[in-house]
Structure formats: C-alpha cells, structure tokens
Amino acid sequence: MKKVLLLCAVLVVFLVLGQKASWADGCPATTLQIGDATGCEIITVGTGGSLSFSTTPGSPVIFLGGSDDPLVEVINNSGYTLSSLDLTGTGVFAFNGDGLCSGGYMNTPDFCPNPLDDSDGFYAGPTTFFSADPGGAGGLPPSTGTFGYVNFVGGLPNEGETYFSLEDVPYGGTPVGAAEPDSAQLLLLATALSGLGMFVKRLRMG
C-alpha cells in the first residue's frame, strides 16, 4: 500500500511539471519548414505586460505563403499566466482562407485543424482561438481585421510558448493575465512534494 501511495505522489509531481512541457510549443518552422516559412514572428510578453516584437534569429522567412500569413510565436516571460492577448495591426485578423491549417501548405502540423477555431481558413494554433473580446466572447474579430484577441486554452503559463498564424504581422497589443502568477500550479506542486517527502520518511522508518 505504501508503495502504491508513493507511486501516486510521484505521478502527481510529474503531472504538474508536465504542464509546463505541454506549453513548450515554440516555432515549429525552425525544425520543419511549413509552406514558405522557416521561422516565426516572435511576440515576447515581459514583466509588467510589456510586449517586444522580433523574428527567429537568422533572418528566416516568417510567411506561410508569399508575403502574408505569418507564423507567430508567443513567449510568456511575464511571471503570470496569460488568458488572452489583444493584438493590433493592419489586416492582422482579416482572415481570407489561407491560414496555418487550411491544407494549402506542405508539412501542415498534425494537430490541424483546431476544433475551437472557426476562423476563415483555420489560422489558430494547437492551443489558441480568436475572438472580438477577451476570453472568447463577441464572436470573431471584426472583418476590418485591425484588432482582435488571441485566447489561450487553459491559459499560457509563465515561461510557456505557443504559436498560431495571422493574416499580417501585428505591431502592438496588450496581454490579459490571470490574477496570480501560476499560484494554483505552485500550490499543487508544493502539496505533492510535501506528501512525497512524508511517504519517503515513513518507508525509511519501516
């Protein structure tokens, strides 16, 4: 019985730690070209919700086809879990049928299409969907395409990464974060580690 409980405690620890690993989806085109893209536009969310924009090092092609439809990677270094990201830019959400999961590019990712994605052309990544308001409210972004929300299913944890596609490159935005920095995950991990320590101590005592 003690061995079973010990195994359960270890399993909980690995499950908690594995939550970060499930959000380690960086730019997929750096390892396998998708369409014309060999890299991504990178949005890094920093402390205080600051945003910085860059591209994958090495001056790669970030567009899936021609000169539009960029692959976008988000890296969360804010210290908080992010629920949504408000993005702005000329035509960024003016979806016209040729997104990441549209089927029109070589090496389409295996997850495609995301069942939560109802954009015209399936632009969402494996853990994202789009809306006019944060959290998925308000339907799709306006047809003008100049602003909208990228929503992260379950929240994008601190130090997590994910990706999606847009119609054009964004130039501004505002992150929407959770109330506390990964507090639930930290509490669960602390509880699991405490229980694991007690079980190990009892096993040693015989």
- DSSP SS3 for 71: strand
Please tell me the predicted confidence (pLDDT) of residue 172: 95
The pLDDT assigned to 13 comes to: 36
Residue 127 pLDDT > 90: yes
Strand, helix or coil for residue 34: strand
Segment 114-125 shows an average pLDDT of 92
Could you report the per-residue pLDDT of 86-118, keeping only the tens digit for each?
A: 999 999 999 999 999 999 999 999 999 999 998
What is the band of 202 on the pLDDT scale with cuts at 50, 70, 90?
A: low
140 vs 194, more confident: 140
**pLDDT of 200 above 50:** no
* Tokens encoding 206: 């015989």
Among residues 35, 25, 145, 148, the alpha carbon closest in space to that of 86 is found at 148
Q: What is the structure's pLDDT at 194?
A: 54
Residue identified by tokens 């539009």 is 68
Partners of 90 in beta bridges: none
At residue 153, the pLDDT reads 93
Residue 9 pLDDT more than 70?
A: no
Please compute, for residue 68, the number of CA atoms within 13 A of its CA located in the half-sphere on the CB side: 15
Contact 106, 29 (CB under 8 A): no
Which comes out higher in pLDDT, residue 144 or 110? Answer: 110
CB burial of 9-22 (b: ≥16 within 10 Å; e: otherwise) equals: beebbeebeebeee
- Read off the tokens for 158: 């601190």
Q: What is the Cα–Cα distance from 122 to 118, expressed in whole angstroms?
A: 7
pLDDT at 1 over 70: no
pTM: 0.76
